[in-house]
Amino acid sequence: MPTPQHRIGSGFGARSTAADVLHGIDLSGKLAIVTGGYSGIGLETTRALAGAGAQVVVPARRRATAEEALAGVHGVEMDELDLADLDSVREFAERFLAGGRSIDIVINNAGIMACPETRVGPGWEAQFATNHLGHFALVNRLWPAIVPGGARVVSVSSGGHGITGIRWDDMQFDNGYDKWQAYGQAKTANVLFAVQLDLLGRDAGVRSFSLRPGAIITALQRHLPKEEMIGLGWIDESGNAIDRSFKTPEQGAATQVWAATSPQLDGMGGVYCEDCDIAEIATSDNGLGVHTYAIDPDQAARLWTRSAELTGVDAFAVAT
Ligand SMILES: NC(=O)c1ccc[n+]([C@@H]2O[C@H](COP(=O)([O-])OP(=O)(O)OC[C@H]3O[C@@H](n4cnc5c(N)ncnc54)[C@H](OP(=O)(O)O)[C@@H]3O)[C@@H](O)[C@H]2O)c1
């Protein structure tokens, strides 16, 4: 039975923090992998999970930076991973699997936004490749270690998924690049990935979620000119957030931590969350709720097949 895409009345909200949603939850003995868990909301996610007793693996493309950001946080270990490089993804997964440990939580948090046109691997558009294909390959490669009967895989999407669905006729922007269309497609892919992974993993008791963390000033905005952010009404001339809907990083981390750990979601999956609850279907373009194309099962299955073809990885492929 698919989980209805409706609020459940969790009692948490936009101002809840990662610490709030973890209150009373003991993650001792659990292992979590948090991509990008050393910057922005990922850093707060790592701190919160480790604070609740989890062992947290943070694979980083800048390991020294990760070690500096997480110095003194008990229960955290670093490794190397560049999601834009499928060899790096394979090597990280092989190192992890060789250790023989099990995974209770994967949070696909790392991401880039609205960068200038960048090509990676065999010429793939970098936002789609990093935010979606890298995580697709990572989770499929780690699948043998993901614990049946209780593990969760959480993919951090964005209200930006409302910009566009999957551009089937020009997924890699060969016919002209638009930095926001590329971000929107990548974030829609994060939602569709969670839909299909939940379908595939449900019988094994591995559930998947996606989410909108809210708007948070982090390094994610590094590619946006200051004038563009002022124009969007996000910051003032001094660079301070002026949009009062902006969250702190601790609040921004809350929904992914909630999706990864809350007993309120036991037996559920495949849904898009926001503000520490399951989201409603979007009724406008104001960034709230989930657009139906992003949770469409046919689109999700089609994207899975295409991603498996592109990356050459599929943990669920039926041997022929
Ligand atoms: N901030 C917001 O308002 C907002 C809103 C909606 C959704 N989100 C989503 O939230 C997630 C986290 O964003 P954030 O705001 O915390 O941004 P952030 O501070 O820039 O953190 C992003 C992390 O991803 C890592 N990363 C980027 N490219 C990578 C690659 N090729 N391989 C491995 N790691 C890579 C970064 O590593 P480096 O530090 O080494 O670059 C960084 O640690 C993203 O998926 C973003 O789309 C954020």
Nearest alpha-carbon partner for 128 in 60, 213, 194, 187: 187
Nearest CA to ligand 1 atom 42: 36
* Local structure of 131: helix, strand or coil: helix
d(CA 38, ligand 1 centre) in Å: 9
pLDDT in tens, 285-299: 889 999 999 999 999
Helix (H) / strand (E) containing 18: helix 18-22
Protein residues whose CB sits closer than 6 Å to any atom of ligand 1: 35-36, 38-42, 61-62, 65, 81-84, 109-113, 130, 156, 158, 213, 215-216, 218-220
- Is residue 183 among the annotated active site residues? yes
Name the burial class of residue 4, with classes exposed (0-12), middle (13-18) and buried (19+) by CB atoms within 10 angstroms of its CB: exposed
The reported pTM is 0.98
Reply yes or no on whether the pLDDT at 244 is more than 80. Answer: no
- What 8-state DSSP symbol labels residue 253? T
For the four alpha carbons of 157, 160, 162 and 167, in that order, the dihedral sign comes to negative
* pLDDT on residue 142: 98
**45, 43, 49, 58: which is closest to 30 by C-alpha?**
49
Q: Give CA separation, 42 vs 58, 61, 94, 171, 302, in Å.
A: 9, 14, 23, 27, 29
Task: Decide if pLDDT at 27 tops 90.
Answer: yes
- Asked if residues 211 and 273 have their Cβ atoms less than 8 Å apart, the reply is yes
The H-or-E segment that residue 256 falls in is helix 254-261
Q: What is the pLDDT of residue 54?
A: 98
Residues 6+ positions from 53 with CB-CB distance below 8 Å:
26, 27, 28, 29, 30, 75
The fraction of the chain above a pLDDT of 90, given in percent, is 92
Which pLDDT tens digit goes with each residue over 264-287? 999 999 999 999 999 999 999 889
pLDDT at site 226: 92
Average pLDDT over all residues of the chain: 96
Strand partners, 106: 33, 153
Residue % of the chain over a pLDDT of 70: 99
Gyration radius of the chain's alpha carbons: 18
Of ligand 1's listed atoms, the one at least distance from the Cα of 36 is 43
Q: How many angstroms does the Cα of residue 46 sit away from the middle of ligand 1?
A: 13
Residue among 34, 38, 41 to mutate when testing ligand 1 (max atoms within 8 A of CB): 41
Ramachandran region, residue 240 (left: φ > 0; alpha: ψ -120 to 50; beta: rest): beta
- Residue 320's pLDDT band, with cuts at 50, 70 and 90, is low
* pLDDT(242) > 90: no
Q: Each residue of 135-176: pLDDT tens digit? A: 999 999 999 999 999 999 999 999 999 999 999 999 999 999
Distance 319 CA to ligand 1 centre (A): 35
Amino acid making up residue 320: T
Question: Within 13 Å of residue 196, how many CA atoms lie on the same side as its CB?
Answer: 26
More confident residue, 13 or 1: 13
Whole-number pLDDT of residue 2: 86
Catalytic choice (177, 183, 272, 293): 183
CA of 92 relative to ligand 1 center, distance in Å: 18
Mean pLDDT lowest among 1-5, 95-99, 210-214, 263-267: 1-5
